[in-house]
Amino acid sequence: MNNIAIFGYGTVGKGVYELTKNNPLFKVAAIFDKPEKKEELHNLLVTDIDSIILDKSIDTVVECLGGDSLPHEVIIKSLKNKKNVVTSNKETISKHLSEYLRLANENQVSIQFEASVGGGIPLIYPLTIQSDFDEIFEVKGILNGTSNFILTKMSDEKMDKNEAIKLAQEKGFAEKDPTADLEGIDMVRKGCILASLITKKEIHNEDILHFGISNLNASMIAEVASRGKVLKLITDIKVSDKGTSVIVLPVAIDKNSPLAQVKNEYNGVLILGKYQEPLTFIGKGAGKNPTASAIVSDLVRINKKIAYPYPDLKPYYPLTSDLKGKYLLFSKESLKEVNDPTEQELKAAMFIARVE
């Protein structure tokens, strides 16, 4: 049985507690949160990080705090104190994975983060196993439910962008300020994590070129639809002898392709390898149940001592950006079609979409 502490009793933390409290594999020994949660959590509540970290009976920490600096502190301290860590935090994992793996290996514990990419889709584990024996050429993912929800409403229901954003906010799919989602920042982090796992090298968020959908309007959607295509915001990872390319961008994909069926708040991923012929996963990318489910699958693996033993990442690896292909470059007045554009040409446009 694992003695676990949950940091953060928000939506995801609650889901993890629900899924573990009656499971004989686990005992929830402490939940860290603010003093206001006392009435709800009674004696489980701990408001001081270090008293959990120094408690030798707790062997595993689940980080559900959100943000970056406090989670980073909790993760570092937990690993140094020989506790396993499970987190869904793509921000801190994408920034510090190399350091976390080194600390985990030094202290002979495990850090697992299945929920950080693709929510409830079991993606990180199978992709990591596959990269141990196959040559993975490409991973294409719709990995942000907010932007996909907005794109779906604009495409399928001709909804105005601001109306779609408002609806996403009402349904709890979008933050008050959805910029990070619309500009592809969230999908940069997920691309960084996946590319690190495929290459087993340290990759930096800052190297990932990204184009978002903030400037998208109805006439652009109509232009894409007139070509029999549907617009999706995609993280595209390509690995070849020439290097690794990671780019986040709107792509006009064929209406009959598997990723075109990934609608609303769903995520979807397509994996292409030499042996792993097209493999598609579609599932909920965020929310209480899918995220808690992915976290608890990591906890089960830790309990059964079958968690993936990630090696240290190799040193920092610069990325290339593969810009080959046909692109639509929208400006205020005109639309240009360009083959194999430069980064500058793409950045100068108001909105871009690769055509596939």
- Active-site residue set: 190
Q: What share of the chain is helix, strand, coil (3-state, %, to 5)?
A: 40, 25, 35
Q: Please, which residue, 28 or 45, has the CB nearer to its own copies? A: 28
Task: Output the CA torsion sign for 276, 279, 283, 286.
Answer: positive
Helices (H) and strands (E) in the chain, counts: 13, 15
Closest CA to 148 of 115, 190, 206, 88: 190
Residue 274 as a binder of its own copies (CB under 8 A): the answer is: yes
Residue 285 as a binder of its own copies (CB under 8 A): the answer is: no
Q: How far is the CB of 297 from its own copies (least distance, A)?
A: 5
Q: How far apart are the first and last CA of the chain?
A: 50
The answer to whether 185 and 178 are in contact (CB under 8 A) is no
Among 290, 328, 349, 352, binds its own copies (CB under 8 A): 290
Listed in sequence order, the DSSP H helices in 139-265 are: 145-156, 161-170, 179-182, 185-199, 218-226
Which contiguous run of DSSP H or E holds residue 87? strand 84-87
Which range in 45-53, 233-241, 275-283, 335-343 contacts its own copies by CB under 8 A?
Answer: 275-283
Which range in 2-10, 117-125, 165-173, 322-330 contacts its own copies by CB under 8 A?
Answer: 117-125
Q: How far is the CB of 346 from its own copies (least distance, A)?
A: 31
Site string for its own copies, 28-67 (x = CB under 8 A): ----------------------------------------
Q: Please, which residue, 54 or 129, has the CB nearer to its own copies? A: 129
Q: Please, which residue, 261 or 342, has the CB nearer to its own copies? A: 261
Residue 273 as a binder of its own copies (CB under 8 A): the answer is: yes
Q: How far is the CB of 79 from its own copies (least distance, A)?
A: 20
Site string for its own copies, 120-159 (x = CB under 8 A): xxx--xx--xx-xxx-------------------------
Q: Please, which residue, 95 or 190, has the CB nearer to its own copies? A: 190
For 233, list phi and psi in degrees, rounded to 5: -90, 120
Residue 116 as a binder of its own copies (CB under 8 A): the answer is: no
Listed in sequence order, the DSSP H helices in the chain are: 11-20, 38-41, 49-53, 69-80, 90-106, 124-130, 145-156, 161-170, 179-182, 185-199, 218-226, 288-303, 343-348
The SS3 call for residue 39 is helix
Residue 241 as a binder of its own copies (CB under 8 A): the answer is: no
Residues at the site binding its own copies, with contacts judged by CB under 8 A: 15, 19-20, 23, 25, 120-122, 125-126, 129-130, 132-134, 258, 261, 273-284, 287, 289-290, 292-293, 296-297, 299-301, 304-309
